[in-house]
Amino acid sequence: MSVGQQICRARESIGLQQEKAAEHLGLEPDKLRAWEEGREEPSFHELCDLGDLYGRSLDYFLRDIPPSAAPLRLRLREGRKELSPEGRRVRVEWEEFCRRRMELEGVVGAARRISLPEYASAKGPASTAQAERKRLSLGEGPVENIREVLGQQGVYVFEIKLPVRTPEFSGCSQWHESYGPCILANAREPRGRRNFTMAHEYYHLLVHRGQAYSCAVEVLTDAGEERSASRFAAAFLMTQEGLATGLRMRQQRSQLESPKDYAPLATKWRVSVEALLYALRDFSLLPRDEADRLLREWTTTTQHVRWPKGKPRPTQWQRRLEHLGHGYTEAAVGAYREGRISLSKLAEYLGMDIREARKAAEAP
């Protein structure tokens, strides 16, 4: 694929018209058109300007990186028909991190092994979840770290903050021809919701291989593939036997009258209160009327997440490392310390400026 074709793809991936892109770059539209058609080639500095505008690295323009043939199916909030420019940029950032991770594996000589089985949708989400828990030897308790579990199966998982103004989706997944299975989760959402999103998207990778999906909310009550994915997520992250035991213990200690009373149980299972209540209802551990009442109360009340008292807040670069994942950041920092990559390359891999990258490299 030529440089011009890559430039065109980069522009289209963020939904920018040629004339508008030329305006942002301070160019005549004919100049950009000539680049995209391969009649002229931009200079190094002009390529840097294109990368800044489109959210791409120079490698993207200079290497033959094929697009995914699988279209991204979106289920957007607020009746949206397509992604906003901000949402598109987040998707581009996700794709760039997937490319960097694959490149980094080549640098450190770590061969990626994809171990995902393929299930038929006819098997049913609950049965698929039980089969996966058994295959992964997860037992009857909570999944301690779902991101680590998915990473061990060869799934690239990145958490990226969606703009506050446009929380269009909680996450999406894609089985890319080059990058393999990938998941994106909205880093602005609470940890329990992100865990559910990852499990939800994992179902699509297991059942809808070669396709891509995005979920709009954590648990969807309508029928169809999204509801099946949410049922899988609940059954994968929580077990009926384990929930029943935990519920009895909570009931012995105190009355469970409001949604907040279920928060300790949700924390134990590393999910949101909303996901827990849906699971208790689906497993028939709570009467449907009672579960629906609690869900209405929870979803119609503004929730405030408070930072634990006395716990130091992480810096911006520390949060970035957390969102990128321990395995990825450890490999990148390790490659820098061993002299395999430069500090500027480390900064590119981590998506931060050089000063922050140096702090990450010097951190214990």
| Domain ranges, ordered by start, for the chain | 1-65, 68-230, 238-301, 316-362
Q: Does residue 101 carry a pLDDT above 90?
A: yes
Strand 171-176 to strand 180-186: parallel, antiparallel, or no bridges (unpaired)?
antiparallel
Helical H runs in 177-239?
191-207, 225-237
**pLDDT for residue 155:** 95
The type of residue at 83 is: L
CA distance 228 to 200: 9
pLDDT in tens, 293-309: 999 998 887 766 666 67
Contacts of 251 (CB under 8 A, 6+ apart): none
Q: Left, alpha or beta for 341 (phi > 0: left; psi -120 to 50: alpha)? A: beta
Tell me the CA distances in angstroms from 63 to 1, 34, 74, 333, one per residue in order.
8, 19, 28, 24
Average pLDDT of the chain to the nearest whole number: 85
Q: Does residue 220 carry a pLDDT above 50?
A: no
Q: pLDDT grade, residue 252 (50/70/90)?
A: confident
Q: Which homologous superfamily does the CATH classification assign to the domain defined by 1-65? A: lambda repressor-like DNA-binding domains (1.10.260.40)
The DSSP H or E segment spanning 332 is helix 326-337
Q: Does residue 238 carry a pLDDT above 60?
A: yes
Percent of the chain with pLDDT over 70: 87
Contacts of 11 (CB under 8 A, 6+ apart): 18, 21, 36, 54
Partnered with residue 223 across adjacent β-strands are none
Tell me the CA distances in angstroms from 227 to 124, 143, 278, 298, 305, one per residue in order.
11, 21, 12, 20, 27
Angle at 288 between CA 134 and CA 281, to 5 degrees: 20
Handedness of CA 86, 92, 93, 98 (dihedral sign): positive
